[in-house]
Amino acid sequence: MELFEFNDTFCCSLWEESKHNTSKRPNLLGILFNDSLIINCTFIAKDNGKKQYIFAKPGIVNSGVYIEDNKLKCTLFTANPTTNNFSDDMHIEEFNFEYEKEYKLIYQILNVEGITMFVVSVNGEKRIVNCKYKTCDYTHVPLWIGVMNPFLNEVNERYYFNGIISEFIVSNNDGVITNLDFTNVNRFKVWDKSGNGNFAYVQEFMNKQIQIKLNKKIAGNSLETSDITNIKQTLI
């Protein structure tokens, strides 16, 4: 199966739990980043002349991974519980980066007996950072994939990813939470092949131009209508 390509404004999110009660392991997605976590991500990016986020937990400060100035930047922000000053303990690990090249990324947060460590591996190059505080509280904030935050007023500051993601697996201490399959994308969601039912939801399901592209990719025909009222009938 062909991998769906991120471009234009395509992005998706992992929310508190899958909609329509499909989660077999609910209430895990909303607390991502608040405890131990591993994200395995394999991707190839195309140069669009802009900063690009592969994934992000947005907030006052953003934790996640992005591409900027030929660098791959892996970030984790932790907060001083006394001052709530998020910049007291910020971590940005930079790696040299090339477009059109496959990268295997491991992004890991380890919380053990009150000690937080930030562990990042990029194509086998591993960094371990000891943090002073725990990760910022991102409770009930979506984990965005392919964007920093699609709801910002300034479109140019949303920083969409351009390229393909062939692997995106999120795990915690108990095992895999979701394993997204970007060869299995419909107008609402990206399939979770872990069997846990934790699908990622496509943000642009009400965007006509994105839906035309999705329909061509999925069904082989374009959506030709002056509005989006026919989407339910014309898209699979």
pLDDT in tens, 85-97: 666 788 999 999 9
Q: Please tell me whether residues 218 and 186 are part of one structural domain.
A: no
Task: Give CA–CA dist 183/166, Å, rounded.
Answer: 8
Task: Quickly state the pLDDT bin for 101 (edges 50, 70, 90).
Answer: very high
Q: Please tell me whether residues 199 and 210 are part of one structural domain.
A: no
Mean pLDDT, the chain, integer: 83
- What type of residue is 227? D
Q: Which of 13, 21, 217, 20 is nearest to 236 (CA)?
A: 217
Give the pLDDT of residue 160: 94
User: In angstroms, how far is CA 190 from the centroid of its own chain?
Assistant: 12
Give the pLDDT of residue 34: 82
Task: Give CA–CA dist 184/167, Å, rounded.
Answer: 12
Q: Please tell me whether residues 140 and 223 are part of one structural domain.
A: no
Q: At CA 33, angle to CA 127 and CA 71, rounded to 5? A: 40
Task: Give CA–CA dist 233/165, Å, rounded.
Answer: 29
Give the pLDDT of residue 207: 57
44 vs 34, 182, 221, CA distance in Å? 28, 13, 27
Q: Which domain holds residue 143?
A: 5-205
Q: Are 221 and 200 in contact (CB under 8 A)?
A: no
| Count of structural domains, the chain | 2
